[in-house]
């Protein structure tokens, strides 16, 4: 069985602070894919990044960066210089190919001015 | 390029009634998955349709059923509604073409169902 744990239920920061959202996963599959999605108040899940289990390179996209460590089964997401528009619920998810996405419970990020 | 669309946006039903939700996948996608997202929770997988057949199913009762049409669009039906069925229902589309290395699922805006 697959499992995704996002231990942080809610994080509050002030604009321009850096913030890291944690994600720990469990799977018996050797090939799997990890995702981060953003869910603004409108409800639609917005795809942010996909990472496969064979690629442990960290990735940076603008103010966003992701740290994938197979040794600790973690796939953490950092927002640098946070902005109010970053306020949303962020979900980490896991899939082993064509199988279903298993989501964590999400972390609500509140960025205040 | 049209993204995933869902209808209706909101729906209010009474306990015991039946409801049908609709989803049109992103252009070029052939697989539709349905998820239920209760308030404050992550989405939970209901089932996935590919080639007009249910391919995988999550831990949901038979009251939840679905269908996929030849144009890849899909319906989710829920019978004998319970208060606990109140949730945001998300549809996701993906491409299951052999050899595809992309397992990204693109989500629609969801249908918010309220059961009173």
Chain A residues near residue B112 by CB distance under 8 angstroms: 43
Of A17-21, A48-52, B32-36, B63-67, the one with minimum mean pLDDT is A48-52
Place A56 in a pLDDT band, splitting at 50, 70 and 90: confident
Picking from B29, B35, B105, B114 by the largest number of A CB atoms within 10 A of its own CB, the best residue to mutate is B105
For the residues A41-64, what does the mean pLDDT come to? Answer: 88
Over 80: is that where the pLDDT of A7 sits?
A: yes
Q: Chain B contacts of A105, Cβ < 8 Å?
A: 40-42
For range B106-113, the mean pLDDT: 94
**Closest-CA residue of chain A to B55:** A99
Say how far apart CA A55 and CA A2 lie, in whole Å.
19
Chain B residues within an 8 Å CB radius of A29: none
Which residue has 């809610």 as its token pair? A10
pLDDT value for A57: 82
**Which pLDDT does position A59 carry in this prediction?**
85
Question: Rounded mean pLDDT of B25-30?
Answer: 91
Residue whose C-alpha is closest to residue B43's, from A27, A106, A112, A5: A106
Mean pLDDT of A7-33: 95
**Cβ of A98 under 8 Å from any chain B Cβ?**
yes
Read off the pLDDT band of B100 (50, 70, 90): low
A34-60 per-residue burial string, b: 16 or more CB within 10 A, e: under 16: bbbbbbeeebbbeebbbbebeeeeeee
Interface test with B, best of A40, A41, A54, A100 (most B CBs within 10 A): A100
pLDDT digits (tens, 9 = 90+) for B61-83: 999 999 999 999 999 999 999 99
**Per CB distance under 8 Å, which residues of B are interface residues toward A?**
31, 33, 35, 40-45, 48, 55-56, 58, 88, 90, 92, 96, 102-110, 112
């Amino acid at each position: 069985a697959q499992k995704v744990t996002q231990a942080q239920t809610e994080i509050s920061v002030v604009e321009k602070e850096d913030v890291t959202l944690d994600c720990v996963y469990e799977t018996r599959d050797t090939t799997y894919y990890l995702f981060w999605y953003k869910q603004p108040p409108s409800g639609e899940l917005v795809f942010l990044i996909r990472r496969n289990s064979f690629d442990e390179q960290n990735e940076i996209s603008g103010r966003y960066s992701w740290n994938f460590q197979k040794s600790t089964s973690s796939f953490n997401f950092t927002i640098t210089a946070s902005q109010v528009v970053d306020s949303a619920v962020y979900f980490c998810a896991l899939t082993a190919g064509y199988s279903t996405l298993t989501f964590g419970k999400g972390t609500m990020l509140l960025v205040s001015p | 390029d049209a993204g995933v669309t869902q209808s209706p946006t909101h729906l209010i039903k009474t306990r015991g009634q039946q409801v049908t939700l609709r989803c049109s996948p992103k252009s070029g996608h052939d697989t539709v998955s349905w998820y239920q997202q209760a308030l404050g929770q992550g989405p939970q997988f209901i089932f996935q349709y590919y080639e007009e057949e249910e391919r995988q199913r999550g831990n949901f009762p038979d009251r939840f059923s679905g269908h996929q049409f030849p144009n890849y669009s899909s319906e989710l039906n829920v019978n004998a509604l319970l208060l606990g069925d109140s949730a945001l229902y998300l549809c996701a589309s993906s491409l299951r073409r052999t050899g595809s290395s992309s397992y990204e699922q693109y989500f629609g805006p969801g249908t918010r169902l309220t059961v009173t």
